[in-house]
Amino acid sequence: MTTFPAPVVATAGSEDPAAPLVVLLHGRGSNERDIAGLAGHLPEGPAYAAVRAPIAEGGGYAWFANRGIGRPVAESLRSTMDWFRGWLDTVAPVGRPVVLIGFSGGAAFAGGLLLDDPARYAGAAVLYGTLPFDAGVPTTPARLAGVPVVVVQGEQDTVIPGELLDRTWHYLLGESGAPTVAVRHPGGHGITPDALATVGGWLAERLMFLSRRGPAAPGPTAWPGLPDGRLPARAGTRPEVTSGIPQEQRTDNAPLALQERLFDLVAALPGVTSRQSAISVPGARGLMLDQQHRGADHDAFLVPSAGEFAHVHPGHDGSMHLALPPALVADLVAKGWGAAHPLAGVRLTPGFVMLFGPRDTAELETVLGVVATSHAWASGRLAEAHA
């Protein structure tokens, strides 16, 4: 059994023990004092703690240096994560928001912590690094559903293997279920001012969201709009989706005739009217509930003030955005029917999700059932439907 020294921590920011805690994790060849300097470029308000890697070799989280697959990497990661959690649980009892920000090897360690126990963290930033694939932590579909993440990579990074950067990018933006802000900046393996601005803006919005609304409840797990309340798996591979805003479906798009049929069926649901979306691109058709039919839960709407619970994107795209309870978002992503919106739980309702367009009449029925469930939630009838 590995024995690590007591954690060495450099702190900055708020001294309030109830303030959100942002943990900074450095890479190889660096130390806690170096990465603690990032706090001066990040939002005021939270407490910052930079934790020295427990193994001195290379000055970083040494298990990452293996860059390999198999038992030694998994055992090293496990023991290091247990050491870290022992420290974290003493300074941040459950209920205190914790955000991880890791650079290079520290990014891989942050990713391991997040994958090991997603519910423990309010978010994470993976900067110029990779998730620890094949190292003993789960990377299953929807593993990170509902946990906002920002990933920043350098287009000319030669330190981290390109295949691991790509794998991290695609997992976070797709099957992980994490609402992911993903940016690739010009440059190599080093934190740029643009990267800091991206992380700082994301962190400020995520913490503001939590302060106003708190963590989202999972909500119901069955689909009243679908047979037996179950969502089937979608056949084939996931479509390509843009990494930025606006979020668009790029491949495997729905035929125009099916898009129009879906729109007509959804527009015929009780209390639904349609006009230009209040939040999406020009030409996106918003689906609004009139006041008489609206429920009281603002999280059931993409734009509560407009009553917009969903919208249909223009024909070249054919996907939809809609609001669902977080547990159903996780199921939707896990079954291959959608992707989390980058700003869900950061600026927008935690259940803001993309629903891929139907490719045939069988998928049309499934997609309609998903939208009908969103409509039931917005109408305040979702709990009633499960009674």
Both 46 and 150 in one domain: the answer is yes
In a domain, 168, yes or no: yes
Both 129 and 202 in one domain: the answer is yes
> What's the rounded Cα separation, in Å, for the pair 222 and 386?
8
Residue 161: name the closest of 136, 134, 196 by CA: 134
Both 315 and 379 in one domain: the answer is yes
Tens digits of per-residue pLDDT, 129-173? 999 999 999 999 999 999 999 999 999 999 999 999 999 999 999
> What's the rounded Cα separation, in Å, for the pair 377 and 309?
9
- Its domain, for residue 365, covers 227-386
Residue 102: name the closest of 116, 93, 112, 115 by CA: 112
Give the per-residue pLDDT at 171.
Answer: 98
CA angle, residues 76, 80, 84, in degrees to nearest 5: 170
The alpha carbon torsion through 252, 167, 198, 337 (nearest 10 deg) reads 30
In a domain, 220, yes or no: no
Both 17 and 158 in one domain: the answer is yes
Both 239 and 204 in one domain: the answer is no
> DSSP 3-state assignment of 140?
coil
> What's the rounded Cα separation, in Å, for the pair 173 and 244?
10
In a domain, 3, yes or no: no
In a domain, 272, yes or no: yes
**What CATH number has the domain bearing residue 309?**
3.90.1150.30
N-term to C-term CA, the chain: 50
> What's the rounded Cα separation, in Å, for the pair 340 and 146?
8
Both 282 and 175 in one domain: the answer is no
Residues of the chain below pLDDT 50: 1, 57-71, 385-387
> DSSP 3-state assignment of 360?
coil
In a domain, 375, yes or no: yes
- The residue to which tokens 């009674």 are assigned: 387
The mean predicted confidence, pLDDT, of the chain is 92
Residue 122: name the closest of 151, 153, 101 by CA: 101
**What CATH number has the domain bearing residue 186?**
3.40.50.1820
The structure's pTM equals 0.93
Number of C-beta neighbours around residue 189 at 10 A: 17
CA dist list (Å): 26 to 44, 49, 121: 20, 11, 18
In a domain, 243, yes or no: yes
Give the per-residue pLDDT at 239.
Answer: 97
Give the per-residue pLDDT at 64.
Answer: 47
Domain count, the chain: 2
User: Which string of b and e fits 258-292 if b means at least 16 CB within 10 Å?
Assistant: bbebbbeebeebeebeeeebeebeeebbbbbbeee
Name the domain boundary from 189, 213, 237: 213
CA 31 to chain centre: 28
Give the per-residue pLDDT at 5.
Answer: 85
Both 359 and 317 in one domain: the answer is yes
In a domain, 322, yes or no: yes
Both 169 and 289 in one domain: the answer is no
Both 315 and 253 in one domain: the answer is yes
Both 171 and 100 in one domain: the answer is yes
Tens digits of per-residue pLDDT, 234-284? 999 999 999 999 999 999 999 999 999 999 999 999 999 999 999 999 999
Tens digits of per-residue pLDDT, 282-292? 999 999 999 99
Both 379 and 267 in one domain: the answer is yes
CA dist list (Å): 221 to 211, 376, 385: 26, 14, 12
What tokens does 216 get?
A: 């989202």
**Neighbouring C-alpha atoms within 13 Å toward the C-beta of 34:** 16
What is the sign of the dihedral through the CA atoms of 241, 331, 137 and 122? Answer: positive
In a domain, 4, yes or no: no
Both 96 and 142 in one domain: the answer is yes
Number of C-beta neighbours around residue 104 at 10 A: 27
DSSP states along 151-218: EEEETT--SS-HHHHHHHHHHHHTTT---EEEEEESSSSS--HHHHHHHHHHHHHHHHHHHHH-SPP-
> What's the rounded Cα separation, in Å, for the pair 54 and 43?
27
